[in-house]
Structure 1
Amino acid sequence: MTDVRARLAAMQEGDLPVHGGRTLAYVYDSGLAEVDALGRDAVAAYAGSNGLDPTAFPSLLAMENDLVATACDLLDAPEGAVGTVTSGGTESCLLAVQAARDAHPEVTDPAIVVPDTVHAAFHKAAHYFGLRTVVVPVGGDFRADAAAMAAALDATTVLVVVSAPSYAHGVVDPVTEVAAAAAARGVRCHVDACIGGWVLPYAARLGRRVPPWTFAVEGVTSISVDLHKYGYAPKGTSLLLHRTAALRRPQYFAWADWPGYTMLNSTMQSTKSGGPLAGAWAVTREIGDEGYLRLAEAALTATDAVVRGVPSSLSVVAPPESTLVALETDGSCDVFTVADEMAARGWYVQPQMSYAGRPPTLHLSLSAATDADGFLAALSDAVAAAVAAGPVTVDPEVVAFIEALDPTALTDDDFDGLLAASGLVGASDDGGLALPDRMAGVNALLDVASPRMREALLVAFLDRLSRPADRL
């Protein structure tokens, strides 16, 4: 047992840190060690409990209803609003799309209308559930174009989606206008507030300008908000709220036509550990409303400091309305090298590829534990190093070669050659795959590839990574 624990600790040493505020994507750190410990204890206490049947584990149902009630108060939900705890933001988004589709069985070719900044989870939902996505370009301010979204609605539209805020740029879409247009056509309007929903209400209470986006906006029919982001709960819990129980009903799945038990599910999962739910309940109860107000203020203050202090070679793409910041360069360096240099200094920032003529950017998710001064000092050094190195380039002949490839026609051998040539994978001493120490060259190559080619390469990359090295 001691050996297994030691091995776990040793393996984890190669992971990004989840505490200390230095990982500016994937994890969200309150900086409250005692709260984190409480959350872990709650997860462990309920790890064996099964949320499949709420009558068998009524404590899980009580905690779920408590979390939904808290979120309803936070998000201006009317009387009669309902909600469900899910495994994360993607599952919440999937269920919002599935419920919208199943509410209209008469629509034989259903579609969702989304801005091009919508989270990829909605494209995943459309792919899984057989819907079309009607993608509407955003305006110059990176917000959904309300008039264009309204014009895209037709008899096949079952759902419209807006973000509060969008992940890539940290701005809130014009929810009021889009929701009104959707309501006029009798179409559901979902607000993806997975990353901002536990911050924006407190930002408003702190006197910051926050565009309307909650259930206070007429026409908003559902909202997703993650507890494992700025609720600072253990992974993975999210909430999907519906304005009425009737809107949620198509989300449920029931099946009695077999000789076993009647299956009844409120989420994509059947069996699900009670641990994450208990962890979220414990953390939210321990932090409390005033605690979240203080944490939001700390995260927003750090965001303000970062926006004010970015080095001259960088600029903020859009003034953030929450805790998300996108940075681009002036051409004297590239974001991929800056990301590598930040990693060398113990900070993780997330590169975002170029899109629709817009340059690549760096994504930052600031949290309450982020030390803005320490981050800016490291960023200044990283940018200086990136400027000294000069922008990373890709050979034009390689660009032309990649552009001429059809990702749907490539074989496994072709992918193996491309992965090796890109630097994504190489051979390790033990015969396995070795990952590159620096990613700038790889990311620059991926950036010149088309989205479809990039997807195909990264799927091949994940496939090669996810193979057992040793068989027991």
Structure 2
Amino acid sequence: MRVINALPPRGVPAEQVLAELTRLRSVDLPTHGGTLFSYVYDSGEPDLDALAQSAHALSSHVNGLDPTAFPSLLATENALVAAAAELLGGPEARPVGSVTSGGTESIILAVKAARDSRPEVSHPRMVVPGTAHAAFAKAASYLRVELDSIPVDPRTLMADPSAMAEAVTAETVLIVASAPSYAHGVIDPVSDIAAIAAAAGIRCHVDACFGGWILPYLRRLGVTVPDFDFTVEGVTSVSVDLHKYAYCPKGTSVLLHRDDRLRISQYFGYADWPGYTMVNSGIASTRSGGPIAAAVATMRHIGDDGYLRLAERTRRAVEQIARAVTTVDGLRLMAPADYMVVCFTSDDPDLDLFVLADELAAAGWHTQPQLPFGDIDASIHLTVTAAVEPTAHRFAAALRDAVDAARRRGRPELPSQLTTMVAAMQPDQLTPQLVGGLAAQLGLTDPDSIAGNMAAVNGLLAVASPRVRERLLVEFVSLLQRPTS
């Protein structure tokens, strides 16, 4: 692990500091160039980074704690909300909203708003499809809302409205749909789920963090996109991330509510102390204006016509990559690649998906392996952005070569005693010492060398229960996130 001293005895020249940071960045995955299929969203537009960085610098010290003190931040935040509302509002709805730091915060606030709108419910619950983003589980944990996760149709990977309707009780305050789900890129039947919410008198949140910005543009290009936003009666809130397909710098997201009355329970206000009265629309109190200014600059520079063009480039890239997957023996798409996700699995017992992901990484293509879950097979997830279009034709050849290499390499060799132990393990058996020993055994003690060497790790996690996976990775990340001398 690389070690730096953040508080040296004497100050370090600016040039040296920047050089040190550049060296640290040299081991990171590439954020530009169309070869990283997760975590980052690259438009491929020249000069966009420089514009966003300049705009960020202009407002980085502006504090969103008090919008009356910094009217520039109020104006830019309202502009972002207005743009998202126009895109997702429909002909009659005029949503209101707030800018947040990302999709997870937007989701947590949507759950908070639903919970706090029903103070008479002593044990609030929310009903989500099993493919809902993990942020809902995080919100449930933070806010003490019980999570009712309902299995999806194993064939379509869509939420099952009938099963979700059966799970609604008098204590349910929220029901959730995804547009699309992150793992497989499938849009849930939002109209059916929203109708359940309306009949029960509860809120319906559509998690469009992932696709909310690009889906309207894909529809304009002729792609069949089912209604998922405020055009659907019964939808009360929608989240959409600007740092995804609006290609704004991280972290900016928007949480929209159908009207002011629904939004008011999102706020936190407190005056019962001798300091200033605190009023927050989001989780954070102090917020830098930098990301918001950078988002406005990015969106104004790209413009509506630019987003349509970027969506078209994304669609072409998706088509090329999906076609490449379907031409390789042993691979199959998990779901139709209709939007901006290509997700595939293997039906060949001699082809290990986790080894395939490592082989792709070795060739410079960084994908996201996904572990098996219930009746859902393990898979490889590709988030496809506009920047992928120029490289998509190369991916086809790289995929065939990586499949051949993975077949030759075979499955990772894991001691049967180890896999048996992990499969039978309970979460409370995992101590820092045990996890540290496993990390050393698997060669994971140096974060710089982890990427591209994960087949054995994923193979081990695949035999563990979800609760054990959680605990294993929590303990492992805890090992990584500690100062070293």
Q: TM-score range, shorter-chain basis?
A: over 0.9
Q: CA deviation at 1:315?
A: 1.2
Out of 187, 201, 223, the residue aligned to residue 202 of structure 2 is: 187
Alignment deviations for residues 179-233 of structure 1 (CA, whole Å, 9 cap, x no partner): 0011011010000000100111011111111111010000000000000000000
Question: Are the counterparts in 1 of residues 324 and 396 from structure 2 also a CA contact under 8 Å?
Answer: yes
Question: Are the counterparts in 2 of residues 165 and 321 from structure 1 also a CA contact under 8 Å?
Answer: no
Question: Are the counterparts in 1 of residues 161 and 193 from structure 2 also a CA contact under 8 Å?
Answer: yes
Q: Over the residues paired in the alignment, what is the CA RMSD in angstroms?
A: 1.5
Q: CA deviation at 1:54?
A: 0.6
- Name the aligned partner's letter for residue 361 of structure 2: A
Alignment match, 1:401: 421
Alignment match, 2:455: 440
- Name the aligned partner's letter for residue 357 of structure 2: A
Given the alignment of the two structures, is residue 392 of structure 1 paired with residue 412 of structure 2, yes or no?
Answer: yes
Alignment match, 1:203: 218
Q: CA deviation at 1:151?
A: 1.4
Alignment match, 1:100: 114
Alignment match, 1:120: 134
Alignment deviations for residues 252-310 of structure 1 (CA, whole Å, 9 cap, x no partner): 00111101111110000000100110111110111111110010111011101111111
- Name the aligned partner's letter for residue 34 of structure 1: D
Alignment match, 1:425: 444
Alignment deviations for residues 33-57 of structure 1 (CA, whole Å, 9 cap, x no partner): 2122211111121111111111111
Q: CA deviation at 1:395?
A: 3.6
The 3 A distance-change label for structure 1 pair 362 and 66 is: same
Alignment match, 1:298: 313
Q: CA deviation at 1:72?
A: 1.1
Question: Are the counterparts in 2 of residues 339 and 350 from structure 1 also a CA contact under 8 Å?
Answer: yes
| Secondary structure at 1:369 match in 2 | helix
Out of 97, 116, 122, the residue aligned to residue 83 of structure 1 is: 97
Query: Could you tell me the TM-score, scaled by structure 1's length?
Result: 0.96
Alignment match, 1:129: 143
Cα distance in structure 2, aligned partners of 1:183 and 1:437: 47
Alignment match, 2:331: 314
| Secondary structure at 1:224 match in 2 | strand
Question: Are the counterparts in 1 of residues 128 and 176 from structure 2 also a CA contact under 8 Å?
Answer: yes
- Name the aligned partner's letter for residue 44 of structure 2: G
Q: CA deviation at 1:76?
A: 2.6
- Name the aligned partner's letter for residue 394 of structure 1: L
Q: CA deviation at 1:71?
A: 0.9
| Secondary structure at 1:363 match in 2 | strand
Given the alignment of the two structures, is residue 29 of structure 1 paired with residue 42 of structure 2, yes or no?
Answer: yes
Alignment match, 2:164: 149
| Secondary structure at 2:126 match in 1 | strand
Cα distance in structure 1, aligned partners of 2:452 and 2:338: 34
Gaps of 5+ in 1: none
Alignment deviations for residues 320-364 of structure 1 (CA, whole Å, 9 cap, x no partner): 231012110122311111111111111110000011032210010
With 386-395 and 167-176 compared, the bigger mean Cα shift is at 386-395
Question: Are the counterparts in 1 of residues 361 and 452 from structure 2 also a CA contact under 8 Å?
Answer: no
| Secondary structure at 2:250 match in 1 | coil
Out of 334, 340, 344, the residue aligned to residue 352 of structure 2 is: 334
The 3 A distance-change label for structure 1 pair 309 and 411 is: closer
Cα distance in structure 1, aligned partners of 2:449 and 2:337: 37
Alignment match, 1:365: 383
Alignment deviations for residues 146-196 of structure 1 (CA, whole Å, 9 cap, x no partner): 111111111010000100000111010000001001101101000000010
Alignment deviations for residues 38-84 of structure 1 (CA, whole Å, 9 cap, x no partner): 11111121111111111111111111111111111111344442010
Question: Are the counterparts in 2 of residues 349 and 362 from structure 1 also a CA contact under 8 Å?
Answer: yes
Cα distance in structure 1, aligned partners of 2:382 and 2:448: 29
- Name the aligned partner's letter for residue 393 of structure 2: D
Count of matched residue pairs = 465
Given the alignment of the two structures, is residue 231 of structure 1 paired with residue 246 of structure 2, yes or no?
Answer: yes
* Aligned positions of 1:256-295 closer than 5 A: 256-295=271-310
Cα distance in structure 2, aligned partners of 1:121 and 1:129: 12
Q: Percent identical across equivalent pairs? A: 52
| Secondary structure at 1:33 match in 2 | coil
- Name the aligned partner's letter for residue 351 of structure 2: C
